[in-house]
A and B are shown apart, each in its own frame.
Chain A
């Protein structure tokens, strides 16, 4: 199993550009989520999904969209990038069973100029 994969690993955008961060998992996990990591703030939840066709907002959803058309994929879209979205983004997945840990992807470092 590849686990949770994310592409790209690094990205530089200009203010106002849009892009999609890709996330895929091959473990048949129902739950998937996106976090952003900023210095001194830990990881904060952006959006999450409990299965195909179902998404919901986390703690910091503004400026981001998600969709979940398949169990495997959970892309994160930046609609109009802003410098405040400069961050490291992590995708995570887990089975829908109590107690289970979340498995994290390797992260994407995004810089918005």
Chain B
């Protein structure tokens, strides 16, 4: 399995502020996909955003955006205008373009302060 590292076990953000979650990965492949999943207390895994490695443009989904640095093998998630409903554990995941197995990081717990 590819190694995916999330170095921040916990992050705290004030409501309406911005928080950035870091993720790095190790691969020798050039074609792959990266994902951020959200896991609220309900335990359900919810896809937040995805990025294809061959695309230079960073993906955005409403208040969620990524900073994809392919050469540095870095894939950070920025949550803007944080809301109470953003409180959850966030997982970074890697998938090779040549199979369907996901490799996950250890997760970052995000707390949103009212």
Contacts and interface: CB of A to CB of B under 8 A. Distances in A.
Interface of A: 31, 33, 35, 40-45, 48, 50, 58-59, 88, 90, 92, 94, 96, 98-99, 101-102, 104, 106-107, 109
A41 B101 CA distance: 16
B102 interface: yes
Given A42-B91, A43-B91, A90-B45, A102 B106 contact: no
A101 B34 CA distance: 10
Given A45-B1, A99-B52, A50 B106 contact: no
Given A31-B100, A50-B100, A104 B52 contact: no
Contacts, number: 55
B23 to A, nearest CB: 11
Interface of B: 1, 4, 6, 9, 33, 35, 42-45, 47, 50, 52, 91, 97, 100-107
B104 A43 contact: yes
Nearest to B95: A102
A104 B44 contact: yes
A94 B44 CA distance: 16
Given A40-B106, A43-B91, A45-B1, A33 B45 contact: no
B100 A48 contact: yes
Contacts of B33: 98-99
A104 B104 CA distance: 14
